[in-house]
Chains A and B, each alone.
Chain A
Amino acid sequence: MESSDEETTEKQRIHLRSATLCDAAPAIVHLLPCEVLVNGPAPVERFFTPAIRQRPSGLEVSFRGRILRGEEVAVPPGVAGYVMVMNEKAEVLAELERRHKRRGLEHEEEAQARSEPLERDFDRCIGATASFDHFHLWGLETIPGPDAKVRGALTWPNLAAAIHAQVPED
């Protein structure tokens, strides 16, 4: 369903299919220090992965002829990483049904969800396709230092917990 209408966007709800979370297989994830201007399949396993070398200072690889150095960064404790893809509701439901049929499971939850008033026709749907508990952080020539923005961002869940924790009553 196309929704060029701004109002619809604001009223749209995006339903996260919780059933996709349990099927999300671990993914290998790299954060590159450059912007590749396309989204789509790429033979990472053919060109990038076999070129990764373990050096005393950390990991080393080259991409488009430039040296990248990096290291493994863990997702903070208590937090989980998911890769999510937005889909048409119909596609996701069909996929879930296929998977559940394969495993011989009745898919009652989704059947129930379809009749849920929380979901309306113009709503959209998102599902997890993969999960991760660490990723490879790459920098050009050097490993991104302790002041790298992404490292700062990873401290956010801790800080957010404090900001939003309930305060004691007087």
Chain B
Amino acid sequence: MSIKRLLILQIHHLFSEYLKDASKKMKSGLLFVTLANPCSGEGAIYLFDMCLQQLFEIKVFKEKYHSWFINQSVQSEGHLHFATPMDPLFLVLHYLIKADKEGKFQPLEQVVVDDIFPDCILLLKLPELEKLLRHVTEDKEINSKKFYKYSKEKTLRWLEKKVNQTTAALKSNKINVSARVQSAAYFSADQVSSDKEEDYIRYAHGLISDYIPKELSDDLAKHLKLPEPPALLPNPASKKIKLSDEPVEAKEDYTKFNTKDLKTEKKNSKMTAAQKALAKVDKSGMKSIASFFGVKNKKKI
């Protein structure tokens, strides 16, 4: 019998709430749903906590040639899933930008609609959303009903703040950001001190770009006055990463998300840079949780 086990690292406070309250009557409200990834528009898995009304993103660490021993069993793929809190505004922004083509103020229920990912309506249940919308929209109130319109200027200012706080986190977590250091993974962590401010900003920009569409990412680069990236040396680190995206495995694993994933695979170079930047958390892993969830089809015997 082949049972797939999923190893999940989860921000503790979320689950501990449940552990605390498990004895009490508590509505079970943790659910994984597929929503549109705001960068690619393709399906990705998110975790909703309907009780605490929070949104979590699922990312997967995967590297070729790893397996788990879990107690008295073996789990073939050495994957590690992470559930981390997600700013819902990134997901809503995807719809606001789409709706902006109509160029008018609209109520949110008309903006956040999706035939392919109908669970996006769960986003509207998040309590702080209305407050967050001020960062990226102009709004009007008519008969105590709110109408929203995407504002690129406000969005860029919001994203700039995101870049700034991410830059600060990169520094405090001592993450290697310079292209040169990245390209030679065997350099010691001491190199960090020599990183330039610009490298941090570029790196943070890359991380944020994983959550916004390509055009907005380009606009953000201009807004931040980021110079064109210097030509990268052919770099062994990125080569390694490419090697780990094994096409054979992809075909087998992603049955359901196949066509889409292949598209996502050909991400713009910024994605790849961000991917590297992410201290090698494999972004393409998004698909793998999907494949896990689709495991029924793969089950042997």
Contacts and interface: CB of A to CB of B under 8 A. Distances in A.
A114 to B, nearest CB: 10
B189 interface: yes
Contacts of A35: 64-67, 76-78
A80 B15 contact: yes
B266 interface: no
Contact of B4 (A6, A75, A78, A86): A86
B68 A32 contact: yes
B32 interface: yes
A93 to B, nearest CB: 11
Interface string A102-120: 0000001110110010100
Nearest to A81: B9
Contact of B22 (A21, A39, A150): A21
Interface string B39-53: 000010001001000
Main SS of the interface on chain B?
A: mixed
A118 B32 CA distance: 11
A19 interface: yes
A86 B69 contact: no
A153 B244 CA distance: 15
B6 A13 contact: no
Interface of A: 2-4, 6, 9-19, 21-22, 27-45, 48, 75-76, 78-86, 108-110, 112-113, 116, 118, 124, 126, 129-130, 132, 145-147, 149-150, 152-170
Interface of B: 1-13, 15-16, 18-19, 22, 25-34, 43, 47, 50, 57, 59, 61, 63-78, 80, 82, 84-87, 116-119, 132, 134-135, 157-158, 161-162, 165-166, 168-170, 173, 175, 185-186, 189, 207-208, 211, 256, 278-282, 290, 292-297
